[in-house]
Amino acid sequence: MRLIIACFVAAVTLGLALSAGLPARAADEPDLVFKRSTVFKWLTPNDKLATYGLDDPGVEGIACHFTVPERGGIKGWIGVAEEVSDISLACRQIGPIRFKAKFEQGEDVFRQRRSLFFKKMQIVRGCDTKRNVLVYMVYSDRIIEGSPKNSTSSVPIMPWGAAGDVPKCADWVEK
């Protein structure tokens, strides 16, 4: 029994140490657009699907929306439920594109914890230089076992309004 408790304490300590060393999330907190109940629970919160919106912090004129499942029940209510990895993503150009700084392929746009210690969701950005398209991918991972579940969205960089200039994302990718 002592060995089990010692292993649990070590795992918790490791999880806290590793999460403290993570860089801060790239984007501000996303905006909740709406939630829909999917599984009814009698005395505790229902399971839900929640849709959020966020602006790309590194590229003006791009917004992404993602939908995540949120567990209800007792564990969801107290915030210790491990959320599943089923996440959908859609990103679109919503105005003229302006790059704020150079970026690396696969750079974090947004990061959020999906369990108490070990699981996180990430939205990352890249540039398809041949087609002048920004590509966004959402996935979740864990320290020990990752998930292959993911979703991808691409945003062709187009002229907006009277501005005829279309920036090339290749000019903004760090080599």
Q: Which of the pair, 85 or 134, is modelled with greater confidence?
A: 134
- Judge contact between 52 and 32, C-beta under 8 A: yes
Find the mean pLDDT for residues 138-163: 80
Rg of the chain taking only CA atoms, in angstroms:
19
- Judge contact between 49 and 67, C-beta under 8 A: yes
Cβ count within 10 A of residue 38? 12
**Position 125 pLDDT exceeds 80:** yes
Q: What is the pLDDT of residues 21-65, one digit of tens each?
A: 333 334 578 999 998 877 666 776 667 788 999 999 999 999 999
Give the predicted TM-score (pTM) of the model: 0.73
What percentage of the chain has pLDDT greater than the value 70?
63
